[in-house]
Amino acid sequence: MGSLFRSETMCLAQLFLQSGTAYECLSALGEKGLVQFRDLNQNVSSFQRKFVGEVKRCEELERILAYLVQEINRADIPLPEGETSPPAPPLKQVLEMQEQLQKLEAELREVTKNKEKLRRNLLELTEYTHMLRVTKTFVKRNLEFEPAYEEFPPLENESLLDYSCMQRLGAKLGFVSGLINQGKAEAFGKTLWRACRGHSIVTHAELEGPLEDPETGEVIKWYVFLISFWGEQIGHKVKKICDCYHCHIYPYPNTAEERREIQEGLNTRIQDLYTVLHKTEDYLRQVLCKAAESVYSRVIQVKKMKAIYHMLNMCSFDVTNKCLIAEVWCPEADLHELRLALEEGSRESGATIPSFMNTIPTKETPPTLIRTNKFTEGFQNIVDAYGVGSYREVNPALFTIITFPFLFAVMFGDLGHGFVMFLFALLLVLNEDHPRLSQSQEIMRMVFNGRYILLLMGLFSVYTGLVYNDCFSKSVSLFGSGWNVSAMYSSSHSPAEQRKMVLWNDSVIRHNRVLQLDPSVPGVFRGPYPLGIDPIWNLATNRLTFLNSFKMKMSVIFGIIHMTFGVILGIFNHLHFRKKFNIYLVSIPELLFMLCIFGYLIFMIVYKWLVYSAETSRVAPSILIEFINMFLFPASDTGGLYPGQEHVQRLLLVITALSVPVLFLGKPLFLLWLHHGRSCFGVSRSGYTLVRKDSEEEVSLLGSQDIEEGNNQMEDGCREVTCEEFNFGEILMTQVIHSIEYCLGCISNTASYLRLWALSLAHAQLSDVLWAMLMRVGLRVDTTYGVLLLLPVIALFAVLTIFILLIMEGLSAFLHAIRLHWVEFQNKFYVGAGTKFVPFSLRLLSSKFSDDMA
Amino acid sequence: MLGAHCPGGTCARRSISNSDSHPGLGIPLRAMTAHSFALPVIIFTTFWGLIGIAGPWFVPKGPNRGVIITMLVATAVCCYLFWLIAILAQLNPLFGPQLKNETIWYVHFLWE
- pLDDT of A158 reads 41
A515, A549, A617 ranked by CB distance to B101: nearest? A515
- Name the β-bridge partners of A179: A224, A248
User: By CB neighbour count within 10 A (0-12 exposed, 13-18 middle, 19+ buried), where does A698 fall?
Assistant: exposed
CA distance B97 to chain A (A): 5
- pLDDT of A576 reads 93
CA distance B98 to chain A (A): 4
Minimal Cα distance from B85: which residue of A? Answer: A554
- pLDDT of A419 reads 96
Q: Rounded to the nearest 10 degrees, how much is the dihedral formed by the CA atoms of A820, A824, A825, A829?
A: 150
Contact check, Cβ <8 Å, B74/A537: no
The CA-atom distances, in angstroms, between A633 and each of A558, A630, A639, A645, B92 are: 28, 6, 13, 12, 29
Band of residue B111 on the pLDDT scale cut at 50, 70, 90: confident
Q: Which amino acid is at B85?
A: I
Minimal Cα distance from B38: which residue of A? Answer: A530
DSSP result, B40-74? HHHHHHHHHHIIIIIGGGGSPSSTTHHHHHHHHHH
Band of residue B112 on the pLDDT scale cut at 50, 70, 90: low
Residues of B in contact with A485 (CB under 8 A): 99, 104, 107-108, 111-112
Low-confidence ranges of chain A (pLDDT < 70): 1-2, 82-83, 139-172, 208-217, 635-639, 678-725, 846-854
Residues of B in contact with A610 (CB under 8 A): 88, 91-92
CA distance A762 to chain B (A): 19
Phi/psi of residue A434, nearest 5 degrees: -65, 125
Minimal Cα distance from A486: which residue of B? Answer: B108
CATH class entry, domain A115-142+171-279: alpha beta
Minimal Cα distance from A497: which residue of B? Answer: B19
- pLDDT of A187 reads 83
Contact check, Cβ <8 Å, B97/A522: no
pTM of the model: 0.79
What residue ranges do the domains of chain A occupy?
A: 10-109+300-360, 115-142+171-279
Report the alpha-carbon distance of residue A487 to residue A70 in Å, rounded: 83
Classify A403 in phi/psi space as left (phi over 0), alpha (psi -120 to 50) or beta: alpha
Band of residue B42 on the pLDDT scale cut at 50, 70, 90: very high
Band of residue B31 on the pLDDT scale cut at 50, 70, 90: very low
Q: Which amino acid is at A503?
A: L
Name, in order, each residue with C-beta under 8 angstroms of A227's C-beta and a sequence gap of 6 or more: A175, A176, A177, A192, A200, A201, A202, A238
- pLDDT of A682 reads 43
Contact check, Cβ <8 Å, A528/B2: no
A1, A399, A509 ranked by CB distance to B74: nearest? A399
- Name the β-bridge partners of A359: A13
Residues B86-94 have a mean pLDDT of 93
Report the alpha-carbon distance of residue A837 to residue A834 in Å, rounded: 9
Beta strand ranges found along A273-355 (DSSP E): 316-317, 323-331
- pLDDT of B5 reads 45
pLDDT above 50 for B11: no
DSSP label of A701 = P
| A contact test, residue of B16, B17, B95, B106 with most A CBs within 10 A | B95
Report the alpha-carbon distance of residue A277 to residue A281 in Å, rounded: 6
Q: How many residues does chain B have?
A: 112
Say what angle helices A397-412 and A809-819 make with each other, to 10 degrees: 140
Q: Which amino acid is at A383?
A: V
Instruction: Say if residues A404 and A821 touch (Cβ distance below 8 Å).
Output: yes
- pLDDT of A408 reads 97
CA distance A646 to chain B (A): 24
DSSP result, A610-664? HH--STTGGGPPPHHHHHHHHHH--SS----SSTTHHHHHHHHHHHHHHHHHIII
- pLDDT of A382 reads 93
Classify A246 in phi/psi space as left (phi over 0), alpha (psi -120 to 50) or beta: left
Report the alpha-carbon distance of residue B61 to residue A193 in Å, rounded: 96
- pLDDT of A421 reads 96
Q: Which amino acid is at A569?
A: L
Q: How many beta-carbon pairs below 8 A join chains A and B?
A: 203
Sign of CA dihedral A49, A54, A57, A61: negative
- pLDDT of A837 reads 92
Contact check, Cβ <8 Å, A531/B40: yes
Beta strand ranges found along A231-274 (DSSP E): 248-250
Contact check, Cβ <8 Å, B93/A614: yes
B19, B90, B100 ranked by CB distance to A534: nearest? B90
